[in-house]
Amino acid sequence: MNKIAGIRQLGVTLTAHNTQITVWAPQAKSVVLHTYAPDSKVPLTAQAYGYWYAESNRLQAGQQYRIAIDENEYPDPVSRSQPEGVHGPSAMVDLQFDWTDEDYQPPSLRDLIIYELHVGTFTPNGDFEGVIERLPYLKALGINAIEIMPVAQFPGERNWGYDGVFSFAVQHSYGGAKYLQKLVDACHREDIAVILDVVYNHFGPEGNYLPAYGPYFTDKYQTPWGQAVNYDDAWNNGVRDFVLANVYMWLSDFHIDGLRLDAVHAIKDFSPRHILQEIREVTNKVIQQSGKSHFLIAECDLNDRRYLEPLEKNGLGMDAQWLDEFHHSLRVAAGEKRNGYYSEFEGVKHLTKAYQEAYVFDGGFSPHRQKFFGTSAADLPDHQFIVFSQNHDQIGNRMLGERSSMLYSPEIQRLMATAVMISSYTPMLFMGEEWASKKPFLYFVDHSDPNLIQAVREGRRREFADFHDEGEVPDPQAQDTFDQSILDWNEKEGGPHRDMLAYYRALISLRKNHPLLQQRDRKQFQIVCYPHQHTIFITILHETSRLLCILNFSSSDQTFSLDDETTWQKIWDSNDEKWGGCSSTNNNFLQVINVGKRSGTIFERAG
């Protein structure tokens, strides 16, 4: 049975000489691959550890097929293509591609400016070609990495991607495998890295034929999606091989630069070697083979530094994680109501701590969770944390999918962007944020099972039962819910939107090019919080140079006195008239400074 770099090849693999077929079905009595046009059957032979294997020289790319498990036919769980959707036959795909990115090397994590996007709503095309057309725009904006929400085949043509059920098949309506490869190659030509969102904590409900093949799930644990994926129960070897082969495929066959692993806290694995550690090992093998960097970014809400520590310390080996607590603190500082998980965040006080130590809850008592929570991240490198003022979750999980542009004034939006970009952490934007798009990003699905559709509708209504005064919950199944979420690219030509876009371009350029903002080390940040004035002072030090960044979240101008004799010169003002603001901040000051309301200003030591 064929392996590459110790990774088991699964499914149908086309080579120059023959086709290799590997199926994991440990409880089956017979396994047969059934092809159509021409109609033929290829019986597989039982191997060790629940695998079945065959080779054939009669198969070719494009052929459709199903796999018969004890004479019952199903799509291939390791299918590379589902041209007729999740219930249709699988199709064979040759993943060979004429790459032109041999000399491309992604930036380091500390230098990334990440842009999160959803392929289906990023452009009216709703596919990979639409993204390719916008790459020059993203490069001009200053973006050097895109993070793509999941593209594994999901039911229908409208979905966030987290209902994927064919982890190896690229969503057919987006363009399939070849167009994803084409997108990655085009990104690399523009010096833009590609991060792909992958989901290993659960699989979607519709079109999920995994249980027909083997024990992919276990009753040992329950998750928000039901049974847990079987990483440590009987016959877990096939499930772990499945995930590791998937990681290898994205990094090798698609040249993906990084993976964003969804909700790793929901992965239940008490094996001596956690599945994340094995994912790290596979990624390291690809790095050794290719000589190129690849990184792993986790979504994790545990504030557990072990996820970020290296394998040598028995850590789980993730390169970075989304820092939700920075987002929550920032939003409360900006005026977000302290409901739900926002209830325990104290605005500028906790934002200051996030700047200083990353985790806000690092062992103290969490009122929302009603327990002592978290570990200290004080000595972990800054590039291990991804920060943002909004993302797909924080927008789409609101009842009406409101972006910051619908919740906050332009002054607050510019201030929040400044707060993100001056941090020592790695910044991320959500598509359309840069021009303050007014389009919502709603939750949408395209299921075919009436019972499942109704269950999703009722689940959303229950989730927002206390928000009746805001109107009806949008129907996730409705075409209009999806259509409302598609970005309107003409929007950015309008006056206020044009000003915001100019602001983001200049702010990103400032972060990338100013020597002190390139330091990216919070140990060189001196941070003072003025809670009564809702203001944070951040002084960035390097040798004899200094920057003073002042974030005033209050609705009033503030006056501050400094003790030193330094003369400061203003180099940035989020309320400058050229962005549509009305600045009331000194251009230069010695010891007394007036700071405009809802502003982010940056001063450099003169002389």
- Which CATH number characterizes residue 581's domain? 2.60.40.1180
Instruction: Assess if residue 15 is contained within a domain.
Output: yes
Determine the Cα–Cα distance for residues 181 and 547; give it in Å rounded to an integer: 42
Q: What is the pLDDT of residue 344?
A: 96
Asked whether residue 327 is marked as a ligand-binding residue, the answer is: yes
**Domain stops at, among 52, 68, 91:** 91
Instruction: Assess if residue 377 is contained within a domain.
Output: no
Q: What is the mean pLDDT of residues 381-391?
A: 98
Instruction: Assess if residue 252 is contained within a domain.
Output: no
Q: What is the pLDDT of residue 3?
A: 62
Instruction: Assess if residue 351 is contained within a domain.
Output: no
Q: What is the pLDDT of residue 5?
A: 63
Determine the Cα–Cα distance for residues 305 and 315; give it in Å rounded to an integer: 8
Q: What is the pLDDT of residue 466?
A: 65
Instruction: Assess if residue 320 is contained within a domain.
Output: no
Segment 18-59, tens digit of pLDDT: 999 999 999 999 999 999 989 999 999 999 999 999 999 989
Separation of CA 120 from chain center:
15
Q: What is the pLDDT of residue 539?
A: 95
Q: What is the pLDDT of residue 179?
A: 98
Segment 449-466, tens digit of pLDDT: 999 999 999 999 998 876
Asked whether residue 324 is marked as a ligand-binding residue, the answer is: yes
In order of 322, 405, 410, 429, the CA distances from 440 in angstroms are: 22, 10, 17, 15
Asked whether residue 396 is marked as a ligand-binding residue, the answer is: yes
510: left (phi over 0), alpha (psi -120 to 50) or beta: alpha
List CB contacts of 600: < 8 A, sequence separation 6 or more: 414, 415, 417, 418, 419, 422, 549, 550, 551, 552, 572, 573, 574
Q: What is the pLDDT of residue 519?
A: 84
pLDDT at 270 over 90: yes
Determine the Cα–Cα distance for residues 99 and 479; give it in Å rounded to an integer: 37
With contact defined as beta carbons under 8 Å apart, do 80 and 91 qualify? Answer: yes
pLDDT confidence tier of residue 219, bands split at 50, 70 and 90: very high
Segment 87-122, tens digit of pLDDT: 999 999 999 999 999 999 999 999 999 999 999 999
pLDDT at 468 over 60: no
Determine the Cα–Cα distance for residues 558 and 599; give it in Å rounded to an integer: 10
Burial of 559 (0-12, 13-18, 19+ CB in 10 A): exposed
Tokens of 98: 């004429």
pLDDT confidence tier of residue 291, bands split at 50, 70 and 90: very high
* SS3 state of residue 426: strand
Instruction: Assess if residue 224 is contained within a domain.
Output: no
Q: What is the pLDDT of residue 154?
A: 98
Asked whether residue 188 is marked as a ligand-binding residue, the answer is: no
**Domain stops at, among 63, 91, 119:** 91
Instruction: Assess if residue 587 is contained within a domain.
Output: yes
257: left (phi over 0), alpha (psi -120 to 50) or beta: alpha
> What is the Cα gyration radius of the chain?
25
Q: What is the pLDDT of residue 122?
A: 98
Segment 473-530, tens digit of pLDDT: 999 999 999 999 999 999 999 899 999 999 999 999 999 999 999 988 999 999 999 9
- The CATH number of the domain holding residue 87 is 2.60.40.10
Q: Which of 326-330, 470-474, 495-499 has the lowest mean pLDDT?
A: 470-474
Asked whether residue 484 is marked as a ligand-binding residue, the answer is: no
Q: What is the pLDDT of residue 225?
A: 87
Q: What is the largest CA-CA distance in the chain?
A: 86
**Domain stops at, among 91, 121, 151:** 91
Asked whether residue 394 is marked as a ligand-binding residue, the answer is: yes
Determine the Cα–Cα distance for residues 1 and 22; give it in Å rounded to an integer: 8
Asked whether residue 397 is marked as a ligand-binding residue, the answer is: yes
Number of structural domains found in the chain: 2
- Active-site positions read 262, 299
Instruction: Assess if residue 48 is contained within a domain.
Output: yes
**Which structural domain range is residue 564 located in?**
525-605
Segment 521-574, tens digit of pLDDT: 999 999 999 999 999 999 999 888 899 999 999 999 999 998 878 899 999 999
Asked whether residue 392 is marked as a ligand-binding residue, the answer is: yes
Query: How far apart are the two ends of the chain, measured CA to CA in Å?
Result: 69
- Asked if the peptide bond before residue 38 counts as cis, ω within 30 degrees of 0, the response is yes
Which amino acid, 390?
Q
